[in-house]
Chains A and B, each alone.
Chain A
């Protein structure tokens, strides 16, 4: 079907984009369009104006700045092709290459995925596990939102109306770091029925010094599996920690998978992801 009628603007500067958003509170930002246009085609959304940010080239690309900064408009394809990420944060490459299909990856952007906050999207789990920060610019200037505060509810984030997500920054990582993403795909849509992203650090004493585990697909938004994190940090082994991964999470069951089934997937995928992440520690 066709989207219903709308106006279209393709600003060439961030300031221009912000001004358009300020003047049109009902307007929607158009990035890769791979969540927004399908929703508009079935008339789930009918914004009166699309502000296409595709021409804002300053929002594209990956750069190292102690940690890593990723422009919101960077496509999955560009993440997959980034040698910077392959070297420093291969978990992002791994995750990107398992999103959708090649055509989705050619158009879809990391910023669009995070701003959209689909409960089954992959990137929210990975940026949450990595402890990333979202750089946002809006009518009141710039601010930074931690991933922990960003994902509020189903399709709901801490972004205020008129704000643009500009960059995702991942803090510098210690030498002894491992990270992995495990996804159980919905066979038709390719989205995660459950996805689990993990990051582990090892201290000088050889013990796990930090651990973050983030789950997507199980409930309304990406969420931390804190019980398993605490278990691993307290010295339990991977199997014991993973057995606790499903504790304390919110769940949503649907025709594809019940709540119990999702909880089981959380435990299984956490074990697999932690096992792989621990193997990366030298």
Chain B
């Protein structure tokens, strides 16, 4: 099925099989590997992204259901090479250890602050019920969200680390794909034929990549 999806402001068209989950479309077709797959039961939240401004688990939605949608992933939060205030707060408050849950945590947390800019700790915990972390014990995650909310209320745009940038290779030769001026990796707009690219691969891992 041909779909057209706008991800982090860029519109893509692809031919995808109906059973392709949105998270696999993002990770394996668009190379946006920030959304992780941490479970088979829709419980862990490592895959959370925004679809049409709603926070969703991208492992529990088909790519074909995102036809025509606006999707924002963790890769779309930084602007002009500067981290989003929520990303800064996770850094500042040590809201992560291994980092596996972090993209999902940050996406859920930004969704919370969009509907409630001044949440209590209980509200923060309730809003993160769909995100599991095996490392931190959640304390610093809650602190990070509280901190981001305070930063937001102080009217700061959160640049605690002035000019802080995601670490990226500088020269064009080092890059697999050209980057936009803002340092965010860019994948060229393509019409890929999913069945064609992946014909004949293992039934359970149509992308030819196992290990979920």
Contacts and interface: CB of A to CB of B under 8 A. Distances in A.
A3 B45 CA distance: 19
B163 to A, nearest CB: 33
A190 to B, nearest CB: 7
B108 A102 contact: yes
Q: Tell me whether chain A's interface is mostly helix, strand or loop, or mixed.
A: loop
Contacts of A239: none
A8 B61 contact: no
Give the size category of A's interface with B: 20 to 34
A101 interface: yes
B54 interface: yes
Interface string B34-76: 0000001111010010000011110111101100000000000
Contact of B60 (A6, A10, A107, A189): A107
A42 B24 CA distance: 16
Nearest to A49: B18
A148 interface: no
B1 interface: yes
Interface residues of B, number: 34
B212 interface: yes
B63 to A, nearest CB: 10
A188 B40 contact: no
A7 B206 CA distance: 16
Interface string B56-99: 11011110110000000000000000000000000000000000
Interface of A: 1-8, 10, 33-34, 37-38, 41-42, 50, 52, 54, 77, 100-104, 106-107, 188-190
10 contacts: A1-B212, A2-B19, A2-B203, A2-B206, A37-B61, A52-B64, A77-B54, A101-B131, A107-B61, A188-B43
